[in-house]
């Protein structure tokens, strides 16, 4: 089983790349954002709770996120592995994910981070906001706050996974194909 954490700030291209990589490596893509949006659209209790935080550009509390993630993994018990996109975001979440996967006889093999400059992120998110219908992509101040929250609260995970020799930074600027090729180079090395 191969389990990857695809990491990077909002707008780095995680969702686009995860879609390509899941097919290429036959992994299950679990996007925290997609699961939240599904719950928000269907106005579940989890969705309404998550929406109140997301609308402010804040992170959803660990307990809600972790329980949701466990349910997604359990839905796909026969998977060859997972690409976690948007999770973990804190060291506490990383520990919880590690403990949960170990209880299932597996682990996180790598955190692969898409590295993109802030100006490009803001441009990408505002452009996406024109077509996505996502209110958190349409307001420049909310976009900038999401990027700031990422650096303040989640960049610490880089150190967490570096200490375990499981961190790989990848240039997230270029064509979709170029970025996929860079990511595949890392994954292919891990799977040897």
Cis peptide before 19 (omega within 30 of 0): no
Question: Which stretches of the chain are assigned E, i.e. beta strand?
Answer: 2-7, 28-31, 81-85, 110-115, 167-171
Q: Is 172 annotated as a binding residue?
A: no
Backbone φ, ψ for residue 45 (5° rounding): -60, -45
Q: Is 37 annotated as a binding residue?
A: yes
What is the maximal distance between C-alpha atoms in the chain?
44
* Contacts (Cβ under 8 Å, ≥6 apart) of 157: 7, 88, 89, 90, 91, 94, 111
* Contacts (Cβ under 8 Å, ≥6 apart) of 74: none
Q: Is 113 annotated as a binding residue?
A: no
**Residues with a known catalytic role:** 14, 89, 128, 134, 146
How far the first Cα of the chain sits from its last, in Å, is 13
Q: Is 27 annotated as a binding residue?
A: no
Q: Is 47 annotated as a binding residue?
A: no
* Contacts (Cβ under 8 Å, ≥6 apart) of 166: 108, 109, 110, 111
Q: Is 12 annotated as a binding residue?
A: yes
Q: Is 146 annotated as a binding residue?
A: yes
Q: Is 133 annotated as a binding residue?
A: no
**Beta strands across the sheet bearing 28-31:** 28-31, 81-85, 2-7, 110-115, 167-171
Q: Is 59 annotated as a binding residue?
A: yes
Q: Is 128 annotated as a binding residue?
A: yes
Q: Is 180 annotated as a binding residue?
A: no
| Binding-site residue ranges for AMP | 32, 37, 58-60, 86-89, 93, 134, 146
> Which residues carry a binding-site annotation?
11-16, 32, 37, 58-60, 86-89, 93, 128, 134, 146, 174
**Which parts are annotated binding residues for ATP?**
11-16, 128, 174
């Amino acid at each position: 089983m191969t389990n990857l954490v695809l990491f990077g700030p909002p707008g780095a291209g995680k969702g686009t790349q995860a879609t390509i990589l899941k097919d290429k490596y036959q992994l299950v893509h679990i996007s925290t954002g997609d699961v939240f949006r599904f719950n928000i659209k269907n106005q579940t209790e989890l969705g309404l709770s998550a929406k109140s935080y997301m609308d402010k550009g804040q992170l959803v509390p660990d307990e809600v996120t972790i329980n949701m993630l466990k349910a997604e993994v359990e839905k796909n018990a026969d998977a060859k592995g997972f690409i976690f996109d948007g999770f973990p975001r804190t060291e506490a979440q990383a520990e919880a994910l590690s403990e949960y996967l170990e209880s299932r006889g597996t682990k996180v093999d790598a955190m692969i981070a898409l590295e993109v400059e802030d100006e490009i992120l803001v441009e990408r998110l505002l452009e996406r906001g024109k077509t996505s219908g996502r209110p958190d992509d349409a307001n420049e101040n909310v976009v900038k706050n999401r990027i700031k929250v990422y650096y303040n609260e989640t960049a610490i995970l880089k150190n967490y996974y570096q200490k375990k020799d499981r961190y790989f930074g990848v240039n997230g600027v270029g064509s979709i194909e170029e970025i996929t090729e860079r990511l595949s180079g890392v994954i292919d090395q891990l799977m040897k």
